[in-house]
Structure 1
Amino acid sequence: MKIIGLMSGTSVDGIDAVIVDIQNGVEDHDAVRVNVLQFATYPYPDGVRERILEISAPGAGSVEKICHLNAYLGELFAQAAIRIAREAGVELASIDAIGSHGQTIQHLPQPQDESGILVRSTLQIGEPSIIAERTGVTTVADFRPRDMAAGGQGAPLAPYGHYLLFRHPTRTRIVTNIGGISNLTYLPAGATPDQVIAFDTGPGNMLIDGLMREISGGTRVYDENGDDAAQGTCDADLLRSLMTHPYFTSKPPKSTGREEFGAAYLRQIHKEAGSCGINNADLLRTLTEYTAESIVYSFKTFLPNMRDMLETQTIDLLFCGGGVRNQTLMRAVQQRVQPLSIASVEQVGVSSDALEAIVFALFARETLAGRPANLPNVTGSAHPVILGKIIPGRSFRSLGGVSQT
């Protein structure tokens, strides 16, 4: 199947778009084979990122703004799908489906009691009906709510994609994605879906990027290569204080996001650093080390036999996401897992930059095939469920054989 995957993450950098040709492995235990035909990230137009962050802040998003941006982002996601197909030299009519994650503006996985009903909620915008209408391609979107309806947290979802792509018959692997939030997927050798362990480890690039925007007056949105952090010194006392956050000791299944590690949390950290006389360079380095420390803490605390595997080097540590380009961050991780060496998913044949968009292309494929794509032991749902909502394209045929016109 040729599928376009679309997504925008917690960093709100823009729309990742990928067009892939997906094939099954030769044997049942083989990983799915994905040929990336084209990948690109299309930045949001000026001011859109700020508008998304505004409506994502607790108590800040009006109904009118959310309604309008849902439709506008649908147009932008549709444009991204059309553009990636054009750049790949592929006719849209030959695309089997589009899988769109959309843009999360609120994720509330902890149940809230409403008159005896436990309510979990999440909201991704980027209207899929507009994507299907503009492209003519059947679009699958809104993947999280079904898992939450079944009692899960709706996150992390990517581990099922990691299972399809990275499982190995003889090697244990951990796939760590460092986006705005960092998450890991533990795949024991010869893993079956019920053996996968996965959860959000805590902050990824979110705090680092937020501080860069703050200290640069908005002229810089990330620490390129980690060069600025490399000029600072980690404050050990502040790092110890940050690691007392209760999220780190809570047991999986668990997920987190901007609600816990976003702008309000960063303001609190910045205030604490200021009272201790910590300058911006040292704070940036400390936040970088904080991300590394929380990732490796999660390895050693929640994964079976992890300490032994690190010492005996019987495990592959694979990294992906924007964080792999931050060399200071990756060195900090490497120092904490010595003598084991870390690697990028590129080294096992999968594009790191495109991976998240690839995952949502895979989800579209699974949904259209009628296969569940959540992992109950990861999300906490009561049972496996088929994810997403299907918006028919022009070539879609119903069970009765009637074409969409």
Structure 2
Amino acid sequence: MDPSPSSRLCIGLLSGTSVDAVEAVLCRVEGTGPQVRITLLAHISQPFSPEFTRRVLAADDARSLCELNFALGERFAEAALEVISRAGLRPEEVDVIGSHGQTVAHLPSSLSDTPSTLQLGEASVIAERTGIPVVSDFRTRDVAAGGQGAPLVPYLDWALFRKPGVARALQNFGGIGNVSVVSDRLEDTIAFDTGPGNMVLDGLARRVTQGRLQCDLDGSLSRQGRVIPDLLEELLTHPFLALPPPRSAGREGFGEALVTRIWERHGASRPYDVMATAVAFTVEATARAYERWLLPRFTLEAVYVSGGGTRNPVLMERLTERLAPLPVRPLDVLGLPEGAKEAVCFALLANEYLSGTPANVPSATGARRQVVLGKLTP
């Protein structure tokens, strides 16, 4: 394969920490590094059934993880073929698939004496079903180089959204919240996980509605409640929130164990108040991260927000109020649909792998050096 063609057709695939769907994009990627340009040709979201989501979240032994790896590979392959069809193309016209997979464990040095990370979604299955080379396992090389393996999106944020002479914050609310601040030079990029995103809200929403809703749909649950001050203060003592960047989080810190603890305290008697408190937890954790680590260092032009959290109007209203007068804007105003952003990242990372271009950001992950990310399955 030509290591430096003028352009490639690249697919990006991922399922985020919310474990709700496979996001797939097909992009034309031209060039590499600082000169890279990306044109989004198609974007789809293929939801998981509630039963499959529960299967992913419950997998905790070798057999279930082994089977899940291949089952996820089939889901990712289906999404890849669907996005190709949506773009009006044929599989043989596509150069590469970049698949992040589904994170089932993420254990940076703050959580383990053996830093490690594990994403499932067997690349061999995707390659076999589609006939397209697959680049996967993007986090592991950064971990091997002494980094957190996360976040990976800052490279995309810098490549696509930097503006000469200004600093911009790109905030994402997936299952976990994360931010990138990008300016002229890649090495000046700072990025880290701010804390909870939708994961706590989603887990509580399933309990409040006995599984009828998988999320706080349109803020319909949290809008009915009032914040429980002592619970909010307790949540804000979460040890992750005191860690300095570089830092990355996962279900280990903000998953089912935390949801259970919150629910057992107040859920049965004050379900909507618990939802309102979870929104406040996400907003306050995010704002405090800005106040401690970003605002003393940068004069930010604005915060551009993406991820599933942007579809929760209560979360966005509270965040806008809390960060004022700093403007909070949807990422879409910069020309990329917010729901496609993370999948576009993995299309870009696949292109950079084939180009031999290092794509981790050591100032964000803490890695000792820049490295080429990913593994190729022909």
Cα distance in 1, alignment partners of residues 192 and 355 from structure 2? 26
CA drift at 1:223: 1.1
User: Could you tell me whether the CA contact under 8 Å between 2:34 and 2:159 is conserved in 1?
Assistant: no
What per-residue deviation string (whole Å, max 9, x for no partner) do you get for residues 221-248 of structure 1? 0111212211211122321221111211
Determine the structure 2 residue equivalent to 1:270. Answer: 263
- In the other structure, the counterpart of 1:388 is 374
Percent sequence identity is 42
Are 1:37 and 2:41 an aligned pair?
yes
Paired AA for residue 147 in structure 1: D
Q: Which residue of 2 aligns with 1:166?
A: 161
Matched residue, 1:58 = none
Any residues of structure 2 matched to 1:144-293 within 5 Å, and which? Answer: 144-188=139-183, 190=184, 192-273=185-266, 279-293=270-284
Runs of 4+ in structure 1 over 6 Å off: none
Instruction: Say whether 1:5 aligns with 2:16.
Output: no
Q: Deviations over 1:272-326 (max 9, x none)?
A: 336xx961111101110110111111111011536x84xxxx5121000000011
Q: Which of 331, 334, 337 lines up with 1:348 in the alignment?
A: 334
1:375 is displaced (CA, Å) by 1.0
Query: In the alignment, what sits opposite 1:105?
Result: 104
Q: TM-score, normalised by structure 2?
A: 0.94
Give the drift of 1:271: 2.5
- Aligned partner of 1:122 in structure 2 is 117
Alignment partners' CA distance in 2, 1:340 and 1:45: 38
1:251 alignment partner, SS class:
coil
Aligned amino acid, residue 361 of structure 2 = L
| C-alpha contact 2:146 2:368 (8 A) present in aligned 1 | yes
How many residue pairs get matched? 371
Query: What do you get for the CA RMSD once the two structures are aligned?
Result: 1.8
Residue 5 (structure 2) pairs with residue 14 (structure 1):
no
Relative to structure 1, the CA distance from residue 253 to residue 92 in structure 2 (aligned partners, 3 Å threshold; closer, same or farther) is same
Which stretches in structure 2 are left out of the alignment for 5+ residues?
1-7
CA deviations 1:180-208 (Å, max 9, x no partner) are 000000113x2x12100000011100111
Supply the distance in 2 between the matched residues of 1:280 and 1:214 (Cα, whole angstroms): 9
In structure 2, C-alpha distance between the alignment counterparts of 1:111 and 1:148, rounded to whole Å: 12
Partner residue, 2:84: 85
Per the alignment, in what secondary structure is the counterpart of residue 35 of structure 1?
Answer: strand
CA shift, 1:24, in A, is: 4.6
CA contact (8 A) 1:106 1:124 kept: yes
Q: Secondary structure at the match of 1:256?
A: coil
User: TM (normalized to structure 1)?
Assistant: 0.88
Rounded to whole Å, the distance in 2 between the matches of 1:230 and 1:270 is 18
> Is the CA contact (8 Å cut-off) linking 1:207 and 1:287 kept in structure 2?
yes
- Partner SS for 2:277: helix
> For the Cα contact (< 8 Å) 1:29–1:169, is it kept in 2?
no
How far 1:22 sits from its partner (Å)? Answer: 1.9
After superposing the two structures, state which structure 1 stretch, 345-354 or 156-165, moved more.
Answer: 156-165
Q: Distance in 1 between matches of 2:198 and 2:61?
A: 27
Shift of 1:269: 1.7
Q: Is the 8 A contact 1:111 1:119 kept in 2?
A: no
Which residue number in structure 2 is paired with residue 323 of structure 1? 309
Q: Does 1:305 align with 2:306?
A: no
> 1:172 is aligned with what amino acid?
A
Q: Are the aligned partners of 1:178 and 1:320 in contact in 2 as well (CA < 8 Å)?
A: yes
How far apart in 1 are the matches of 2:95 and 2:16?
24
Deviation per CA, 1:21-45: give whole Å up to 9, x if none. Answer: 12359xx866x43221111111224
Partner of residue 53 from structure 1, selected from 57, 64, 89: 57
2-structure distance, mates of 1:138, 1:320? 29
Query: Which ranges of structure 1 fall in alignment gaps of 5 or more residues?
Result: 56-60, 393-405
Q: Give the equivalent residue in structure 2 for 1:402.
A: none
CA distance in 2, matches of 1:111, 1:225: 34
* CA distance, structure 1, for counterparts of residue 63 and residue 306 of structure 2: 36
Deviates more, 1:296-305 or 1:356-365: 296-305
Larger radius of gyration: 1
1:316 and 1:213, CA in 2 relative to 1: closer, same or farther beyond 3 A?
A: same
Amino acid at match of 2:338: S
CA distance in 2 between partners of 1:88 and 1:292 (Å): 37
**Conserved 8 A contact 1:226-1:328:** yes
Match of 2:4 in 1: none
CA contact (8 A) 2:205 2:221 kept: no
Structure 1 pair 340/119, CA: closer, same or farther in 2 (3 Å)?
closer
CA distance in 1, matches of 2:288, 2:37: 32
CA distance in 1, matches of 2:191, 2:126: 31
